[in-house]
Amino acid sequence: MDDTNLGTLSRQGDQWTLTFTRSLKHSPEKVWRAVTEPEHLAVWFPHEIVGERRPGAPLKFLHPKGDAFDGQMRVFDPPSVIEFTWGTDLLRIELQADGEGTLLTLTDTFDELGKAARDAAGWHECLNRLVGDLDGESPSAWGSNWRQLNETYKAHLGPEASVLGPPAGYDEHLSSQPQS
């Protein structure tokens, strides 16, 4: 795996931040649509986002299996920044023009170090799906490379960042996915 695509982990006071960057060959406007419009989010983001796209708006995150939790839109500044609480995490996606393409930065800020490798593997998979969608490729089944990515992130981030395993229901989720 190309180490330049691996997320990085840093400490911010009592919290931890995973940061991912991707240099994309698509315009900021196209990438903005991919990170904000429901039909594109359905390809790469793990939950449906229900709620207004404006600062302060309450959000609900719905999973196809019926799980749901709340959040709040913090920043919505088209076509450059979207930031929201996602349960207890703070997610921020920033887009910056980069020549004819876009530099995308996704940050996930959270409290529990032990989930860093698990979540990094998940966001890495999500970003792979986003890039594939932008490039016109069909995505692989959800979770198909999560375990391999998780092992990579365990080695990359270390044992203290690798305490938690797959999210609850992960194996059941995989078994319910159509095989590619």
Task: Give the mean model confidence (pLDDT) for residues 23-35.
Answer: 96
Burial call 14-42: b when 16+ CB within 10 Å, e when fewer: eebbbbbbbebebebebbbbbbbeeebbe
Distance between CA atoms of 19 and 108, rounded to whole angstroms?
7
CA 85/CA 102 separation, integer angstroms: 24
Q: Say what the pLDDT of residue 103 is.
A: 98
pLDDT category at 175 given cuts 50, 70, 90 is: very low
Q: What is the pLDDT of residue 39?
A: 92
pLDDT category, 174, cuts 50, 70, 90?
A: very low
Buried/exposed 136-165: b ≥16 CB within 10 Å, e otherwise: eeeeeebbebbeebbebbbebbeeebbeee
Query: Exposed (0-12), middle (13-18) or buried (19+): which is 44, by Cβ within 10 Å?
Result: buried
Number of H helices, E strands in the chain: 5, 8
pLDDT digits (tens, 9 = 90+) for 110-123: 999 999 999 999 99
5-9, 147-151, 153-157, 163-167: range with lowest mean pLDDT: 163-167
Taking the C-alpha atoms of residue 75 and residue 82, their distance in angstroms, rounded to an integer, is 5
- Residue among 58, 52, 94, 91 at smallest CA distance from 77: 94
Q: Calculate what percentage of the chain has a pLDDT beyond 90.
A: 78
Looking at residue 172, its pLDDT comes to 47
Under the banding of pLDDT at 50, 70 and 90, the label for residue 144 is confident
* Element (DSSP H or E) covering residue 74: strand 68-77
2/81: higher pLDDT:
81
Residues 121, 23, 34, 90: is their CA dihedral positive or negative?
A: positive
pLDDT in tens, 80-104: 999 999 999 999 999 999 999 999 9
pTM of the model: 0.90
